[in-house]
Amino acid sequence: MRTQIAIIGSGPSGLLLGQLLTEAGIDNVILDRVGKDYILGRVRAGVLEEGTVGLLDEARSAFRLHAEGLPHDGFSLAFDGRDHRIDLYELTGGKRVTVYGQTEVTRDLMITREASGALTVYDAANATPHDFDSSSPYVTYEKDGVTHRIDCDFIAGCDGFHGASRKAVPEKVIRTFEKVYPFGWLGLLADVAPVNHELIYANHPRGFALCSMRSATRSRYYIQCSLDEKVEDWSDDRFWDELRRRLPTHHAQALKTAPSFEKSIAPLRSFVAEPMRFDRLFLVGDAAHIVPPTGAKGLNLAASDVHYLFEGLREFYDARSSAGIDAYSQKALARVWKAVRFSWWMTTMMHRFPDTGDFDQKIQEAELDYLTHSRAASTALAENYVGLPF
Ligand code: RFL
Ligand code: PHB
């Protein structure tokens, strides 16, 4: 088989890139290690920047998002028994975010792709990029015991943090930067009205908590937990009790509960691989970088990578210029590092670290108090949260 762009990974990066390429008349094939239902069973991001929504519009995959997504003009920071609203809309001169689950973004992109007739191969085992330092790269994969080969012009590695693309790069040409945090997030999904109409990020001596949502009737809650916790040890009642303890009293009293239908623990990590291009192989999204979810940036960074790469590839095919793809790694990394910094800062300010003592707790509360009372500091938070331009 031959295509112009072989895309490894059918998460949001791979699907969005594929859809933009298809719209531009550039042939592409997507491979994924797992099946469609497995991909749609993952519960992940919930907050989309305006730039991400714009790209989904460009990919003609935002119809449901515009009907069902929840525009949010602000969120709350809770600490020291009170909470303070960050007015994103006012502080950024009219910008907001949209709360719409990654699962739904993925579903919408899959539907548009299927309608376009572009090929996706699910359950493709051992996808491997080959000869990407030559002018004739190719990808091999196995399906039903048969090895297949896709010849292509370029390979897009959109296969997440544990994927094969980054691993195919020789160690001597890649540099990685990593910070692993000594805690995780235990997340729960339940069909119950959210405790507040906007998100609440809570700093508490018992640990961080986040109240988020998927719709007016579906809530997504997280609590910081230690890395050796097991989901099985967390009954719904234990989760709700712990969440209540970490929220200011008025929210704790208003919290409505219902049986959960998803519960999982995610570790927190910051990770960046440099560069993001190796001749004819590009790393995109989580394949190149990971941020802790505190800043709601992972999916949005995947979208900005896709934007830079798509514009570069379109220029390559339309104008026979490689200027855009040559600038991909540098442009993407400049934005990535700013989001890595923001996510690290939010994480550091909001969580209880194993060595956080009463002094450190007071310093965090003083920082939050300053942040919420200084317009300059609130503006810096807001402009990062709604997303830096790309
Ligand atoms: P994905 O979503 O991991 O998709 C990669 C795809 O590649 C496939 N794959 C392979 N395919 C072929 N061969 C191989 N060898 C392969 N190995 C893997 C996988 O099956 C999968 O289908 O990466 P992508 O597309 O780059 O998207 C990145 C986002 O998923 C991620 O950044 C976000 O989910 C991060 N994130 C958040 N981001 C936000 O912008 N806002 C948020 O509010 C937010 N909240 C979160 C999050 C991530 C979380 N977890 C669980 C890590 C909350 C959580 C709890
Ligand atoms: C979510 O709704 O899953 C979510 C929202 C905001 C975050 C992280 C996750 O910062």
Residue 173 has pLDDT above 90, yes or no: yes
151, burial (CB in 10 Å: exposed 0-12, middle 13-18, buried 19+): middle
H-type helices in 247-350, by residue range? 249-254, 298-319, 323-350
- Catalytic machinery residues: 72, 201, 293, 297, 385
Cα four-point dihedral sign 234, 238, 241, 246: negative
Q: What is the dihedral of CA 186, 189, 192, 195, to 10 degrees?
A: 40
pLDDT at 311: 98
Element (H, E) at 379: helix 375-386
Is the distance from the beta carbon of residue 33 to the nearest atom of ligand 1 less than 6 Å? yes
**Distance from Cα 293 to the centre of ligand 2, integer Å:** 7
Is the distance from the beta carbon of residue 103 to the nearest atom of ligand 1 less than 6 Å? no
Residue 44 has pLDDT above 90, yes or no: no
* Of 50, 70, 23, nearest in space to 317 by CA: 23
* Of 196, 194, 244, 243, nearest in space to 214 by CA: 194
* Of 211, 229, 221, 141, nearest in space to 187 by CA: 221
Is the distance from the beta carbon of residue 327 to the nearest atom of ligand 1 less than 6 Å? no
Is the distance from the beta carbon of residue 193 to the nearest atom of ligand 1 less than 6 Å? no
- Which structure tokens are listed for 272? 């960046």
Average of per-residue pLDDT values in the chain: 97
Residue 357 has pLDDT above 90, yes or no: no
- Which structure tokens are listed for 302? 């995947």
Task: Among 141, 166, 286, name the best residue to mutate to test ligand 1's pocket (greatest count of ligand atoms within 8 A of Cβ).
Answer: 286
d(CA 286, CA 161): 5
pTM of the model: 0.96
Which domains are assigned to the chain?
A: 5-70+101-177+269-346 (3.50.50.60), 182-267+353-386 (3.30.9.10)
Q: Which atom of ligand 1 is nearest to the CA of 43?
A: 51
**Distance from Cα 262 to the centre of ligand 1, integer Å:** 17
pLDDT digits (tens, 9 = 90+) for 177-216: 999 999 999 999 999 999 999 999 999 999 999 999 999 9
pLDDT-based confidence at residue 105 (cuts at 50, 70, 90): very high
pLDDT digits (tens, 9 = 90+) for 217-267: 999 999 999 999 999 999 999 999 999 999 999 999 999 999 999 999 999
Cβ neighbours of 77 (radius 10 Å): 23
